[in-house]
A and B are shown apart, each in its own frame.
Chain A
Amino acid sequence: MLYDVVIIGAGPAGLSAGLYAARARLNTLIIEKDVAGGQIVTTEEVANYPGSIENATGPSLVARMVEQAESFGAKRTTDTIKSVDFSGKIKVLKGEKADYETKTVIIATGATPKKIGCPGEKELTGRGVSYCATCDGAFFEDLEVFVVGGGDAAVEEAMFLTKFARKVTIIHRRDSLRAAKSIQEKAFANEKIHFMWDTVITELRGDELLESMVVKNLKTGEEKEIFADENDGTFGVFVFVGYDPATQLFEGIINMEKGYIITDDKMATNIPGVFAAGDNRVKPLRQVVTATSDGAIAATQAEKYIEENIFE
Chain B
Amino acid sequence: MIELNKDNFEEEVLKAEGTVLVDFWSPSCEPCKALMPFVHSLEEKYADKIKFTSLDITKARRVAIGQKVLGLPVIAIYQNGERIDSVVGDEATEKSVEELIKKYC
Residues of A within 8 A of B (CB): 34-37, 41-42, 58-59, 78, 80, 96, 112, 125-132, 134-141, 208-210, 234, 236
Asked whether B68 lies within 8 Å of A208 as measured between CB atoms, the reply is yes
Q: Which of B29, B68, B74, B88 has a CB less than 8 Å from the CB of A134?
A: B29
Asked whether B71 lies within 8 Å of A134 as measured between CB atoms, the reply is no
Task: Tell whether B5 is near chain A: CB-to-CB under 8 Å.
Answer: no
Residues of B within 8 A of A (CB): 26, 28-32, 34-35, 57-58, 61, 64-65, 68-74, 88-90, 93-95
Q: Contacts of B89 on A, CB cut-off 8 Å?
A: 125-126, 130-131
Among B28, B29, B94, find the residue whose CB has the most chain A CB atoms closer than 10 A: B28
Given the known interface contacts A34-B94, A138-B61, the answer about A209 and B28 at a Cβ–Cβ threshold of 8 Å is: no
Q: Contacts of B30 on A, CB cut-off 8 Å?
A: 35, 37, 41-42, 58-59, 134-135
Q: Which of A59, A129, A136, A236 has a CB less than 8 Å from the CB of B72?
A: A136
Asked whether B71 lies within 8 Å of A139 as measured between CB atoms, the reply is yes
Q: Which of A37, A78, A139 has a CB less than 8 Å from the CB of B61?
A: A139
A-B CB proximity, top 9 nearest: A126-B71, A126-B88, A35-B34, A135-B29, A41-B30, A208-B68, A136-B71, A130-B71, A135-B72
Q: How far, in Å, is A17 (CB) from chain B's closest CB?
A: 21
Report Cα–Cα, A264/B101, bound state, in Å: 46
Tally the A-B contacts, defined by beta carbons under 8 Å.
86
Given the known interface contacts A125-B89, A135-B31, the answer about A210 and B58 at a Cβ–Cβ threshold of 8 Å is: no
Q: Contacts of B94 on A, CB cut-off 8 Å?
A: 34, 78
Closest to A59 in B: B30
Given the known interface contacts A125-B89, A126-B88, A138-B26, the answer about A35 and B71 at a Cβ–Cβ threshold of 8 Å is: no
Report Cα–Cα, A132/B58, bound state, in Å: 16
Q: Which of A41, A112, A127, A134 has a CB less than 8 Å from the CB of B70?
A: A127
Report Cα–Cα, A130/B90, bound state, in Å: 10
Q: Contacts of A112 on B, CB cut-off 8 Å?
A: 90
**7 A-B Cβ contacts within 8 A?**
A34-B34, A34-B94, A130-B70, A136-B29, A139-B64, A139-B71, A234-B65
Q: Contacts of B73 on A, CB cut-off 8 Å?
A: 135
Closest to B87 in A: A126
Given contacts A112-B90, A139-B71, 10 further A-B contacts (CB under 8 A): A34-B93, A34-B94, A80-B93, A125-B89, A126-B74, A129-B71, A138-B28, A139-B64, A234-B65, A234-B70
Report Cα–Cα, A59/B90, bound state, in Å: 18
Closest to B24 in A: A126
Q: Contacts of B57 on A, CB cut-off 8 Å?
A: 138-139
Q: Which of B31, B32, B71 has a CB less than 8 Å from the CB of A128?
A: B71
Report Cα–Cα, A1/B95, bound state, in Å: 25
Asked whether A126 lies within 8 Å of B69 as measured between CB atoms, the reply is yes
Given the known interface contacts A34-B31, A134-B28, the answer about A127 and B71 at a Cβ–Cβ threshold of 8 Å is: yes
Q: Contacts of B93 on A, CB cut-off 8 Å?
A: 34, 80
Report Cα–Cα, A136/B61, bound state, in Å: 11
Report Cα–Cα, A236/B74, bound state, in Å: 17
Q: How far, in Å, is B51 (CB) from chain A's closest CB?
A: 22
Q: Contacts of A34 on B, CB cut-off 8 Å?
A: 31, 34-35, 93-94
